[in-house]
Amino acid sequence: MARSTRTPLVTFGPVEAPVLRQIEACQRIEDASPAVLCADNHLGYSMPIGGVVGYESHVSPSAVGYDIACGNCAVRTDVQANAIDRVAVINDIWRVLSFGMGRKNAEPVEHAVLDEIAECTHPVQRGLAKLAADQLGTIGGGNHYVDLFEDEADGTLWIGVHFGSRGFGHKTATWALEQAGAKSDDMHAPPAVMRVGTELAELYIDGMERAGRYAYAGRDWVIDRVLRLIGASATDRVHNHHNFAWRERHGRRTYWVHRKGATPAFPGQRGFVGGTMGEPAVILEGRDVPRAEEALFSTVHGAGRVMSRTKAAGKFRGWGRQRRQVSPGVVNFPEWQRRLAAEGIELRGGGADEAPECYKRLSEVLTYHGNTVRILHTLRPIGVAMAGSEEYDPFRD
């Protein structure tokens, strides 16, 4: 399965040595495509975040990741940002929607994907039907959010969300990695792969695609619920996974292309890419240029971390009322809260590990991708809702 020579590696922006070693390990599979590191790259489990690799006859659950079908959705509304009471709206979002650890949606959701899960024959997913129903439309923790934006061009209000398939996808990925013999306790474990056509690979593909439909349903429900809170309608919608594997043809070869923290950006295909809680997001589209083709038509999914959560927030023990800090972090989050408020950004939740200084600058990250993408809209945040720092979420990206 392994080979001594590697396919070409396409990189955007600086790459640290440990990240390079991770993507090189993914390239050693015998039928690998050229691999890509987008400019928001950083360490992930087995394969880097911001990494892209294809295999002709293998799928890799570690190259998709634990949060199967994590992705972004944004809608343009039919109202102006200055026409809403942003304080009231963000308070309603914080009150109505469910953020954080293992949360259930207070509003039961009916969706065809839940019937599909309950009736499927997948060896693990059918048993997750109740969990899936409870969590559909919950946002989770970590860097997952619901944001309100003002379009810098015309003042239109946009709504953007970022989260994935929640516990349903996480448990599906855990099962697949265990079945593939992955070392889940080793950040730098070799990639776990399954040969397409085997029973295990077909079960994983089936489960991954079902988790993708579940994630799409959850993000659409949250967006539509926020539209109802505002009393607005959507005039445009941009929706993408960025933790997924797709069957694609590149040149004369067809691969299962795995994008982990990377947005598909084929010519004319649009994507929503978030920045940080205090900086603009963008709607972009892929372009038909040679460099984009070399990158398997892939681009960033966000700004990319530069600081670990522990370094930022410090080390804690326990949860809930038992949670206590045992070592300090380097980020002054109260100061960030004051700065965001001064800039007119209503923040609910969040924590030191999600402060802007924990991330690269999205504008710089996009510059490294040059003419492979075109920016269509620049969106300034005016309201941000995320799980609080006291929330633990095992299902986050």
pLDDT averaged per 10 residues in sequence order, the chain, 397 residues: 68 97 96 96 97 98 97 98 98 95 86 98 97 97 96 98 97 97 88 97 98 98 98 98 98 97 98 97 98 98 94 81 81 96 97 95 98 98 88 43
Residue 325: predicted pLDDT: 80
Assign residue 381 a region (left: φ > 0; alpha: ψ between -120 and 50; beta: otherwise): beta
Residue 382 DSSP SS3: strand
| pTM, full prediction | 0.94
Domain extents for the chain?
9-388
Cα separations in angstroms, 280 against 17, 45, 273, 302: 29, 28, 9, 11
Domain 9-388 = CATH 3.40.50.300: no
In the chain, the amino acid numbered 128 is L
Alpha-carbon span 40 to 301, nearest angstrom = 7
DSSP secondary structure letter of residue 21: H
Residue 319: predicted pLDDT: 65
Alpha-carbon span 119 to 356, nearest angstrom = 43
Residue 394: predicted pLDDT: 40
Nearest to 29 by CA among 64, 5, 45: 5
